[in-house]
Structure 1
Amino acid sequence: MTADIFNALVVRAAEDNAYLRQIEQRSIDDLPDGDVLIRVHYSSLNYKDALSAIGNRGVTRNFPHTPGIDAAGTVAQSRVRGFKEGDPVLVTGYDLGMNTSGGFGQYVRVPAEWVVPLPEGLTLKESMVYGTAGFTAGMGISFLTERVAPEAGPVLVTGATGGVGSVAVAVLAKLGYTVAAVTGKTAEWDFLQGIGASQIVDRADAADTSGRPLLKGQWAGAIDTVGGEILATTIKSTLPWGTVACCGNVASPELPLTVFPFILRGVRLIGIDSQNCPMDLRLQVWRNLAGPWKVAAIENLSRQISMDDLSDNIDVILKGQQKGRVVVRLG
């Protein structure tokens, strides 16, 4: 390979609505225009990446395409004063990996306003242990900790073995919260307890279908990653003046709920949009994740794979079998 040629996972449309993915050589000249060219050292695997890799047009409109909504590496070229060659940086969210060539390639080129300087206290790899999932968890934790103190009662994390959920469990436990973790995977109870969960709630018990508008208050707050009936049950089970932050709809985008939890208990529901988070909040969340919220032995939340392993792991996450975070080394 020359300095202008690099490897990337490329997804191509094929016959019969199929999509093929393989590692190909690409040219830097093929990348979209942008202020900052980044040599990617690490990325991470998210559910949105897997959707892009199977041709989901709600995520990616045009193919061939390189997914990867996360990237961490060093600046190779910069047109702006704020970044210079060799600076360690990361990019999460915005349009990266959706309709802009993403972090599953060894180079990305993006607008300067998408780029975050690597926070002091994190390595490039550690930043991708967090990635979009960890950053999303961090936003939820920001909203929760502003309104709910550890002594207010236990907090609930749904989808706890996933990327967002596992980071949320670990960070909230570090901050002194009593964490109840929802999962349908009994084999992962030891994993969840190992990262800080004090209580395991079976997924079947987390969804109330009685139709009652309110349930017994149990949770001072919650971070929900799944939506649907589980989110509705969580809200109906939240204690007065509690806060629920939500970021997912893998169970359902529907919310079967009345207004009673909000007007009789003062429960607050806050949505998390990590893709378009304003830069001032984005930088604050990253500083927290790198500093006071940083989990000891953070890499225990993840496993590392190579580019050659990506396709198989995309199948794993689509089946709902991914545990914790998957870091992709682009070396």
Structure 2
Amino acid sequence: MFNALVVEKDEDGKTRAAVQQIDESRLPEGNVTVAVEYSTVNYKDGLCIGPGGGLVRNYPHVPGIDFAGTVEASDDARYKPGDKVVLTGWRVGEVRWGGYAQKARVNADWLVPLPAGLEPRQAMAVGTAGLTAMLAIMALEDQGMKPGQGPVLVTGAAGGVGSVAVAVLAHLGYEVAAVTGRADQADYLRGLGATEIIPREDLTEVTRKPLEAERWAGCVDAVAGAMLGRVLKQMKYGASVAAIGLAGGAAIDGALITPFILRGVNLLGIDSVMQPYGNRLRAWQRIASDLPMDRLETMVQPAVLADLPALGAAILKGQVKGRIVVDVNA
């Protein structure tokens, strides 16, 4: 028996989540069993804990799209008992039981060895949000972005993805402009390395101008909507935007083709769920080398399984700052 956060749905379609003891025989099929040490909370987790958001197919369900821990049993030659591993994505915690439990059983193809020097708790301070941020930065670098070309914009900067993006970019020597709608987060963002704080309202007005003054050498965008429409018009010639979220809506309001054909701007889509193994490994190795652990620690809010129903509701309301690290054994 082990503890897990179990979400159940009643006949009226309402969901409720609570910590329960469940038997190991109920774990899904898979060739690696992991003793989970830590998990975290993402926007998708909030949906899966609460209304489901169309992500959860069957109930009862154990959410948690991320986890890190130690291999307990393995039928795959790549992993042996005692190995430290991390999992993000692959619809785990959505269509399959996930990491909000003391044990998880998954396909070995979905795991990544924890890089040397990175502990399971640190890996979950990073989680899907931090992995996505690193994938975005790698994509921007692959398109030619380098320090010294001008400020790099990070939207939704106080959130999980934004916080990691700000910290990594600053560590790599970039000048970072952080966008936030919460004025009280300015000191937090400067502590992560931001050199300029941009109020959200400065970038949310929809305009019909084909182009604006060139400002940004790159952008990690977690917002989309009207903000992305404005940002695209302000990118420097040949610069790129890595799009990782849609907190401001799924459309790109006010966007025109002109930034793409007159300035050669690139819009790069970043998906972390189905990323190939090689890209995941490269990103986790970059996280281990390029994310300052002291700055990572300033983002962390500790939690336990019993805290998750409230935290899931809070993240859906935009009330979570930085990264939550869930000790599933506390």
TM-score by length of 2: 0.97
Partner of 1:273: 271
Is the Cα contact below 8 Å between 2:206 and 2:229 reproduced in 1? no
Deviates more, 1:210-219 or 1:189-198: 210-219
Q: How far does the alpha carbon of each residue in 1:215-262 deviate from its partner, in whole angstroms, 9 at most, with x for none?
A: 111101000011111111111110101010001112110113111101
Over the matched positions of the two proteins, sequence identity in percent amounts to 44
What is the total number of aligned residue pairs between the two structures? 327
Contact 1:47 1:317 in 2 (8 A): yes
The match for 2:76 among 63, 75, 80 is: 80
**Which residue of 2 is the match for residue 53 of structure 1?**
49
1:69 equivalent to 2:93? Answer no
CA gap 1:169/1:109 in 2 versus in 1, 3 angstroms: same
- Please tell me whether the aligned partners of residues 50 and 309 of structure 2 are also in contact (alpha carbons under 8 angstroms): no
SS at match of 1:62: coil
Q: How far off is 1:317 after superposition?
A: 0.9
Residue-by-residue CA offset, 1:47-83 (whole Å, 9 max, x unaligned) = 0000111132421121111110001000011001110
8 Å Cα contact 1:171-1:295 kept in structure 2:
no
Residue from 76, 93, 98 that aligns with 1:97: 93
- Whether 1:10 and 2:45 are equivalent positions in the alignment is no
Aligned equivalents of 1:66, 1:97: Cα separation in 2: 6
- Aligned counterpart in structure 2 of residue 325 of structure 1, from 317, 320, 323: 323
State the Cα RMSD in Å.
Answer: 1.1
Give 2:166's aligned residue: 169
Moved over 6 A (4+): none
2:198 to 197, 201, 214: 201
- What is the CA-CA distance between 1:107 and the residue it aligns to? 0.8
Q: Tell me the secondary structure at the aligned position of residue 25 of structure 1.
A: strand
Write the distance in 2 (CA, Å) between the matches of 1:232 and 1:28: 49
Unaligned runs of at least 5 residues, structure 1: none
SS at match of 2:219: strand
Matched residue type, 1:149:
K
Residue 184 (structure 2) aligns with: 187
Look up the SS of the partner of 1:248 in the other structure. Answer: coil
Q: Deviations over 1:80-112 (max 9, x none)?
A: 111011111110011210111011111111101
For the 8 Å contact 2:66–2:98, the answer to whether it is kept is yes
Residue 235 (str. 1) matches residue 203 (str. 2): no
Structure 2 SS opposite 1:12:
strand
Alignment partner of 1:229: what SS? helix
Give secondary structure in 2 for the equivalent of 1:16: coil
Q: What is aligned with 1:286?
A: 284
- Give, as a single letter, the amino acid of the residue that structure 2 aligns with 1:249: L
- Distance in 1 of aligned mates of 2:226 and 2:164: 23
Shift of 1:128: 0.5
